[in-house]
Structure 1
Amino acid sequence: MPTITSASVKAYLYDTFVPKVHNKPENPIRLLRGLNHQQRLTFAAAFMAWMVDAIDFFTVSLSATEVAAAFGKDVSDVTSAITTTLMLRPIGALIFGVLADRYGRRIPLMIDLALFTVIEIATGFSNNLSTFIGLRAVFGICMGGEWGLGNALAMETLPHDSRGIFSGILQEGYAAGYLIAALIYYAAVPHLGWRALYWISIIPAIISLVLVYFVPETDVWRQNRAHSTENHKRLYQLTLEMLKKHWLRCIYAVLLMAGFNFMSHGSQDLYPTFLKGQLGYSASQATVATVIMNIGAIIGGLIVGYLSEYYGRRTMIIWASVLGLCFLPLWMLPTSYSPLVAGAFFMQFCVQGAWGVIPVHLAELSPPGFRSTFPGLAYQLGNLISASASQIEAVAGASHKLPNGKPNYARVQMILLGVVFSVVIVLTMIGTEERGKDFMVSDDKELNNNTEHMEDLSSSKPAADAIDGEEKGIESKERMDVYVEKSDSTLPKEA
């Protein structure tokens, strides 16, 4: 039975937290300007589609009070539509992911965006709550499908050396969508009513649909599709082969995304309630804090995503989570407004900074032929697991009262986020990464040679781009084997 020594563990932890970086970081402006016309168009389409996702999702939370008044219902009845949306997102990830891996990224994404448009128009015409919730249920299926489609389209098109920074930008399309939805709400709803919010939100969806129309299909998908056609394999056969070889990776990705979604929902969903219900700040003050924390999210996603290209995907996720733990007191303990807002900014910088690595990280971990289904389904299943985060915080906060009788949301949120950050750190440490993976070469190697482990693919880049495994973040188990050699002992193959 292999044994783990203190020397090998120490070396492994040192490499995880303090990696050696031999490739000098590129100027981010050069990376942003270095795309060709096709790559710019493709990324713009993927970013817009994810932003549309967020705009349409937050229309309900922003207009819940007005919708409840219009239908003569309680706000809690309206917000059940949010829960319905979250619950159905994994179905959409599976349906649209399978379609995208089978028929290409473009057409399913265009169908998805067209459905967004129809659903938003119809939602504005809802004449009762049942119709409203039913439409949001269909929207949940569409929302679940979009992330995997857009992510695969972007990551398969971008140059591998700039994926990190564009991963951060892409993921923060969600925060940008939240901000735009809030701006539309405050500009339109007081004057035109809540229905206008849903009708106006179709404008970004139409723009995104037009962009996707002009985007070409990715070469990576064409290669994978040609291979499956040549081998006369049906989708279910390819899926069974993938699950047989990569079942552990699939489970790991879902667990990791559950931790990430708990981290996101746990730090965002109840925060306005904490400001208003526990500390007594006004709705406008809570809105300003929400805007500022989303600005922090966008900046964090961009910076941490960019650095992940040079310091490693896992290392930057871990350090963002460690910093998040450090900012917990500033996030919840102050009672004056300015320190609280600063805490919200830095907390979302860390939370969404870690999230900024996820699009490229999951794309690189995806088995060939499943680069839409694998990330999208893992993301949405993790989101389903974490859907109860705000409910847990609300119930626990109400059961732990302050001396003045108000719910103690601060304590509950700090405890939950402390646990979640720790879990994300551990899950990330025991995981793996394939930073800098060339999809065309690595996919071709596995599909044609029928390799048994994706972990062997991180060294399959072309000779012109070949780089030492330590530079490109080779897999954790391979690094551990090296350390075991150095310490004259052995380690188990699985981290």
Structure 2
Amino acid sequence: MNSATERSTTPVTAATAYTPRQRHLILTFAIIGALIECMELNLLSFPLRDLATSFGVENQTIVGIITLQSLASIGGGFLFGWIADRWGRRITFVLFTGLYSVAAVVGGFITDLGLFTATRVVAGLAMGGAFGVIFAMFSESWKSPKRGFMGSVLQGMFIAGTLITQLVLFTTISLLGSDSGWRTGFVGIGVGCLIVAGAAFFLLPESTVWQAARAATVSTAAAVAAGEETKAVRTRPDARIVRGAIFLTICTTGVFAASYSYITFAPTFLRAEGFSLSTSTVILTVGTLLGIASYIVAGTLSDRVGRRRATLGACLVGVVGFGLFALIGGGNVWVAAVALMGPAIGYAGFGVLGTWISEYYPTRYRAFGSGVTYYVARGIGSGLFPLAAIAIAGGDLRIALALGGVGAVLGLVGCLFVPDTANKVISAEA
């Protein structure tokens, strides 16, 4: 066999298809994209009281906008996932980042609540493209032995985006006041995202694994058109894939419910308990750092014991963390602040789920499948669940936050029925 034939039959895999520079560039933009994605919701949750004051509405109204934004991300998961699998990871990254940046900048100048809500729906749609594309880029370029660890670092950047948003908005609100502060923060973050979109257009490499998978799909379509079905490969998911995807979505929905109970209600809970903006920011920062650490622990563990067992353990931690907060969070305000650290690390399953979701789906529809799973779960878990929780709690933020434990239980049950994908070789075919 000559060298040309050898090259043509060599599988295109994540381990062999990239130069070190290309792999580092892909990871860099994946990390930046993850940071940006998390800013979307936190642009509303951290300054929730400030937004309510600016528009003259109750806190629940802003929570309703958060819900609409999260539901819009479901549509974005479908749309941008399809675009990424059809036309590539790079152009899709540029599109959703650019659209999000425009929505953030425009939102910072709007004084009408209806128009502001529209910009948040657009932002939600744009960020619906983030997860599927980011983790497709990552899994298609990173070698398998430590994919769980590196995926947890990448997933940790989503929560690090919370920290960046908190620091930016704390600074702008402290310096400029409530109304001008959050508006300036919106514009500043939006401009930064626009710069990232421009840099990605010129520097982000396309996924070589996706290109090979796309070429195979085109060849399959041509074979079917020519009546040569025996040469065609299966391009649609079978029943086993669909069944696992349903349980993976259920698991992810539960972890989202746990995480956004904390993200949505913790900032306002602390302010309602009498903590100043600066003190509550410090407490939230500590919780964020603990959350990132728990992500990395769970992701690293998943490389050793598998994705399912690591997620199961993380959800057990969540059940305990939310349970302790429910039991002791109603006493002394400082005890409540310390107890809040339980929910802060109670959604460590995300340290595994990002990698698990992207490994689960084949390359030919990885971005679409990942985006749909993640954003359907997010729309329900981070959109509908917090709205239901605060209604069930009758407006009591401590109870609403504690209800996040229900999500941890749901994540625990869902993960039991999903096939483990640890050490899977990512290729054009798988």
Q: Give the partner amino acid of 2:184.
A: A
Distance 1:78 1:220, change over 3 A: same
Q: Distance in 2 between matches of 1:172 and 1:243?
A: 32
Q: Identify the range of structure 1 (37-46 vs 85-94) with the bigger mean alpha-carbon deviation.
A: 37-46
Instruction: Note the C-alpha offset of 1:51.
Output: 0.8
Cα 1:203–1:219 shift into 2, 3 Å: same
Matched, 1:429 2:425: no
The 3 A distance-change label for structure 1 pair 88 and 240 is farther
Structure 1 residues 352-371: aligned runs within 5 Å? 353-371=348-366
1:187 to 171, 177, 192: 171
Q: Which is bigger in relative contact order (C-alpha 8 A, separation at least 6)? A: 2
**What's the counterpart of residue 200 of structure 1?**
188
For residues 45-64 of structure 1, what are the structure 2 equivalents within 5 Å? Answer: 45-64=29-48
Alignment of 1:317-396 (within 5 A): 317-332=311-326, 333-334=328-329, 335-351=331-347, 353-386=348-381, 387-396=383-392
Question: 1: distance between equivalents of 2:316 and 2:50?
Answer: 40
| Secondary structure in structure 1 of the residue aligned to 2:170 | helix
Identity %: 22
Partner of 1:128: 112
Q: 1:292 aligns with which of 282, 286, 295?
A: 286
Would the alpha carbon gap of residues 231 and 349 (structure 1) be closer, same or farther in structure 2, given more than 3 Å must change? same
Residue identity matched to 2:109: F
Pairing 1:3-18 to 2, within 5 Å after superposition: none
- The 1:285–1:395 alpha-carbon spacing in structure 2 relative to 1, beyond 3 Å, is farther
Q: Is the 8 A contact 1:308 1:315 kept in 2?
A: yes
What is the rounded CA distance, in whole Å, between the counterparts of 2:264 and 2:62 in structure 1?
Answer: 16
Residues in 2 aligned to 1:199 and 1:266: alpha-carbon distance in whole angstroms = 27
- Residue deviations 1:63-99, cap 9 Å, x none? 3444444444444444432121111111000000000
Note closer, same or farther for the CA distance 1:171–1:90 as it changes in structure 2 (3 Å cut): same
Deviations 1:146-201 (CA, angstroms, capped at 9, x unpaired)? 11111111111111112111111111222211111111112123434132111110
Q: Indicate how the Cα distance of structure 1 residues 328 and 121 shifts in structure 2: closer, same or farther if over 3 A, else same.
A: closer
Aligned pairs (5 A) from 1:22-421: 36-192=20-176, 193=180, 194-213=182-201, 214-232=203-221, 241-242=236-237, 246-277=241-272, 279-332=273-326, 333-334=328-329, 335-351=331-347, 353-386=348-381, 387-398=383-394, 407=396, 410=398, 413-414=401-402, 416-421=403-408
Contact kept? 1:330, 1:340, Cα under 8 Å:
no
- 1:210 deviation in Å? 4.3
TM-score w.r.t. the length of structure 2 is 0.84
> Equivalent residue of 2:142, what SS?
coil
Tell me which amino acid in the other structure corresponds to 1:195. R
Q: What are the ranges of 5 or more consecutive residues in structure 2 without an aligned counterpart?
A: 1-18, 224-231
The residue matched to 2:282 in structure 1 has which SS? Answer: helix
The answer to whether the Cα contact below 8 Å between 1:41 and 1:211 also exists between their aligned partners in 2 is: no
Q: Distance in 2 between matches of 1:411 and 1:77?
A: 19
CA contact (8 A) 1:124 1:195 kept: yes
| Residues 1:107 and 1:380: Cα distance change in structure 2 (over 3 Å) | same
Letter in 2 for 1:361: W
- Residue 271 of structure 1 aligns with an amino acid whose one-letter code is A
Q: Say what the alpha-carbon RMSD is for the aligned residues.
A: 2.7
Q: Distance in 2 between matches of 1:71 and 1:329?
A: 35
Distance verdict in 2 for CA 1:204–1:311, change over 3 Å? farther
**Contact 2:244-2:417 within 8 A present in 1 as well:** no
Unaligned runs of 5+ in 1: 1-34, 400-406, 447-495
Partner residue, 1:468: none
**SS of residue in 2 equivalent to 1:241:** coil
The count of corresponding residues between Structure 1 and Structure 2 is 397
Work out whether residues 306 and 421 of structure 2, in 8 Å CA contact, stay in contact via their aligned partners in 1.
no
Q: Give how far 1:418 is off.
A: 4.0
**Distance in 2, Cα, partners of 1:349 & 1:106:** 33
For residues 102 and 308 of structure 2, the distance between their equivalents in structure 1, rounded to whole angstroms, comes to 40
- 1:294 Cα shift? 0.9
Distance 1:379 1:147 in 2: 7
Change (3 A) 1:388 1:377: same
Q: Distance in 2 between matches of 1:328 and 1:249?
A: 27
Q: Give secondary structure in 2 for the equivalent of 1:158.
A: coil
State the Cα deviation string for residues 5-27 of structure 1 (Å, max 9, x = none). Answer: xxxxxxxxxxxxxxxxxxxxxxx
State the shift of 1:282 in Å.
4.3
Distance 1:249 1:137, change over 3 A: same
The residue type equivalent to 2:417 in the other structure is I
Q: 1:466: which partner in 2?
A: none
Equivalent position of 1:491 in the other structure: none
Q: Secondary structure at the match of 1:435?
A: coil
Number of the residue aligned with 1:438: 425
Counterpart residue type for residue 341 of structure 2: F
Match of 1:225, as an amino acid? R
SS of 2:129's partner is: helix
Contact 2:106–2:119 under 8 Å retained in 1: yes
Larger Rg: 1
